[in-house]
Structure 1
């Protein structure tokens, strides 16, 4: 299977050594990003555990989650969303065709325009905080204390968007130079800052007579500053640290630079595409704010846990593939382009399907062991587990999108994913009308999951029809092998979930953690052992 892909990449048997080297390089890069993302997600789970045990699921935690979601929404909309999707392909193309010096000049001009835009955005965001909170979650007005807290924390945290936009600029440069470690590791710093805020800051704020939840807003801002700070030495070592000018005449020159114009032109459809996903999030948060108190928090806790496999698999592959796909496209190497997509999609199927099975069949034990401490009640566990199962139904789609969408972005075709996303948004909201009355907040998660599956399938069909992606032979057999191993995994996890009273084991937390560890190790052994017995040669995903 892997050998077939290697031949597709090179287009010649005589170049298999080169292909193996390229494959190993890609896999090592993806593995490095995944390992660092794993560290980020582990610290993220520690962060959420501390927040859950310290604050539980209440009106104030809902307020913090809404306030934090506002700059996060804009971060995904502008920084990691439209900007990155437009910036990285242009950056990779200019470096491939014009060299490093032209790329450096373009980066300086784009950074100048970006800084000016961020200064204006932050001023407007802080001033408009009450309107933003109302637009995101008007249901918080049912609890005046929660609504006011959300407004205050939004003002404190809004400049976080500036930090993260500059981090996105830095990460795009570093990833294009195949320096993946620093961008992948920086999210750990946000988690560490927020852990410190929950562990040390909240008690200190309480002793000062300040509402403890405000400590989390301070942690977010500190984390953003740290994430940007560690990018600077890495960029300086490459000689790619942007030179930003705050002079008006320089801004006009930067705006008129061809690279800036190309990025902004591509950002417009990309902005619409990312906006669709964020509009869906906005609508869901608005709906959740009108449901039972705690609904926003239950969805947030489930989302954090679901992001564990999504980030490790999808984000890692997307980060590694996008600059490589863009370079292959700029070199007009269609075989390599298709081979990259085939390799990424096989890894998605291999790893995302068992993760989805785990979220669907083992959700309550996972939530129990990770969150069931302190103020986090038995009822919170059950409600968060229901939301997690809803997300799990679409995990394969959520991960696959991270590989398929870069296939369009690398071709500088952002319009097609946008059109697909708009239709999926409408379908998702129609599903909300059906699911929310029956399943409450879990219906929101299920609609997102199913919408992601539709989105991913549509993207896949689009790439195949354009001839950009030509699936290598062996897909049918490989899919059956994965599904058979996943079926055995589902049976094992369902038995494990019912074999213990996971909630009652809260009196023995280390015993409960031990049972979870043994279960997950056994599940991994069963799944990969079954694949090997079915004839899947796992080493070919790693082999030089």
Structure 2
């Protein structure tokens, strides 16, 4: 799963770089495209996305355990319900496009607003495609099949990369005045990528022997129970989307390129989380749900503790790399084509600030899976509301205190404070529900990882200092040389310190990644 996710995220990286070069990082066109392409994800998450991990996977798991047909009929009816609901939501979203654009991007010009509305109406069918894809992936996951859902986003990215390259090859404009051919290329091509992603997952579901059949009447899946649980999930997702909207609105006031700097840095920041933490959480949740259903709380604690510690030993050095190398990463990835040098600089600073949020965000999301496995959506929603409240307040403070061009840099700092608050609250609640959360082992691992990360960061800084003359070469080449050298030196320093500190979680990861080779 991690390999598939890494390949998909690498392609996603290339997609971001190609679109930035073709549409112009820092241009109003790319900001407009990004906002319009964000809206289907936001609406989907608001309606269905949050229920997948918190409600749907545990319910599918219980049905597979308890139903005589292994939960097949239950899954068919659930898929039918998702398709019917999201079809209606898609139509409503298309009608409400102007209101949604005004909500997320009040800083847009009249011309940007008009183009964003047109783009979004082509993009909104993605809501239905995402819903079908996610439901089919959940059905595959509870049957122990994780490969196709992890590989599917690669199809999406490859298609959009081809769209971006074609747009650049035919001389597409970087202004918000597009002719019909260029508009259709960007809009239909982008939605076509999501359609291909859905098609691959559905094909894999059929190959797995699952009979895909829509039921005119989807009742019989405890809709009322889903509704009761879903009320709290809806609160959780609404508050999360409020935070996203507040951050996007704040970024829109940073001027041209502000939204793109925020969204691209956010996308880079989520890559290690998706490759490591999401892979761990996706494989972990069905198992935790089984333990919780059988009342085996000690095994729930053991699984959560192992997941947090495993993710920590990978995420901590990556977070340090973001802090140290954020500007250089931005130059290497985005200082090409029609990109604005000023926007590239801001993007690098935003990425560096995101390094502060990576570890608390990862641990918070993993511990939330413990509440999902216990089907305690109420507590999860209340904690999420607190996190969103802290984050929104932080974005407001950034907008109030910082100069306009720096507002976007304050957003990830607000995120870091918010997720640290949520992590603390979730840990306290789980300790009360489960009796303990393996606190001593978690604290010991955190201290050792912090020391190892500090050692690696010092080695990376020394490499940057020694290679300072390389900065005199062209910006892209100098950033690449110093970045790679610092990453290698920091990695060696981290591994050496981890060995001296007897960091068992790191040893287990290395031995698993390199079987047959003595790595420790």
Settle same-fold status: TM greater than 0.5: yes
**Rounded Cα–Cα distance in structure 2 between residues aligned with 1:507 and 1:344:** 39
Unmatched 5+ stretches in structure 2: 516-520
Matching of residues 6-405 of structure 1 within 5 Å? 33-54=1-22, 55-99=24-68, 101-140=69-108, 143-204=109-170, 206=172, 209-210=179-180, 212=182, 215-245=185-215, 250-251=216-217, 254=218, 256-405=219-368
**Rounded Cα–Cα distance in structure 2 between residues aligned with 1:144 and 1:502:** 44
Deviates most, 374-383 or 269-278: 374-383
How many angstroms does 1:515 deviate by?
A: 4.7
Task: Report what 1:26 is aligned to.
Answer: none
Q: Kindly tell me: are residues 387 and 212 of structure 1, through their superposed partners in 2, closer, same or farther at Cα, counting changes over 3 Å?
A: farther
Deviates most, 425-434 or 155-164: 425-434
**Rounded Cα–Cα distance in structure 2 between residues aligned with 1:313 and 1:77:** 25
Deviates most, 177-186 or 427-436: 427-436
**Rounded Cα–Cα distance in structure 2 between residues aligned with 1:503 and 1:193:** 36
Deviates most, 153-162 or 371-380: 371-380
Root mean square deviation of aligned Cα:
2.3
How many angstroms does 1:368 deviate by?
A: 1.2
Which of 390, 397, 402 is 1:434 aligned to?
397
**Rounded Cα–Cα distance in structure 2 between residues aligned with 1:162 and 1:107:** 17
Q: Kindly tell me: are residues 91 and 108 of structure 1, through their superposed partners in 2, closer, same or farther at Cα, counting changes over 3 Å?
A: same
Aligned-partner SS, 1:394 = helix
Q: Which has the higher contact order (CA 8 A, sep 6+)?
A: 1
1:202–1:213 CA contact under 8 A, matched in 2: no
**Rounded Cα–Cα distance in structure 1 between residues aligned with 2:423 and 2:407:** 25
TM-score, normalization by structure 1 = 0.87
**Rounded Cα–Cα distance in structure 2 between residues aligned with 1:357 and 1:174:** 35
Unmatched 5+ stretches in structure 1: 1-32
How many angstroms does 1:144 deviate by?
A: 2.1
Output one character per residue of 1:18-58: Cα deviation in whole Å (capped at 9) or x when no partner: xxxxxxxxxxxxxxx22211111111111111122222211
Q: Kindly tell me: are residues 501 and 453 of structure 1, through their superposed partners in 2, closer, same or farther at Cα, counting changes over 3 Å?
A: farther
Task: Report what 1:423 is aligned to.
Answer: 386
Q: Kindly tell me: are residues 292 and 209 of structure 1, through their superposed partners in 2, closer, same or farther at Cα, counting changes over 3 Å?
A: closer
Residue-pair matches, total: 501
How many angstroms does 1:520 deviate by?
A: 2.1
